[in-house]
Structure 1
Amino acid sequence: MPSVLLGAVESGGRPVYQVTVCTAAPNVLAASGGIGVVVDRGLEVVAAADTVIVPSTGRSARRRVGRAGGAAGGGRGGQAHRVDL
């Protein structure tokens, strides 16, 4: 999980990254091993991000997703394409 890896990076005793986890529908999300992960931030936080990491779902899927809060993206009609590998 990016928050575990990047949240531990320090320089001069200070954190290098501020990691925020978000989802399209804030809720308790199922994770492997039968655990749940509470994600209470929505996609509006993406607009202020310098770096966005989108982990794979483990399934090969191609779908259209809307742009979140004016975040950079392309595609037709204000939509970006996302491909999970």
Structure 2
Amino acid sequence: MRNFPGILSLIPNPGQELTTVRVQDPRVQNEGSWNSYVDYKIFLHTTSKAFTAKTSCVRRRYREFVWLRRQLQRNAGSV
């Protein structure tokens, strides 16, 4: 498969592991109250042998994304 700059190949080469992560379906929880928040559905599908489950789906709050970004910054310093 020919690669073009700026285009991500979604078809892996034979033997190549592929992981897809989708963030979707935002929902407002406790709408109309002082403690309302938005959470998102996180869907993961992988062909990696490092995972026992090939698909996973969870809901996470925005503040958990903020926490993850801070952890990545602390560990990598480049996010």
TM-score by length of 1: 0.24
Greater strand proportion: 2
Bigger CA radius of gyration: 2
TM-score by length of 2: 0.25
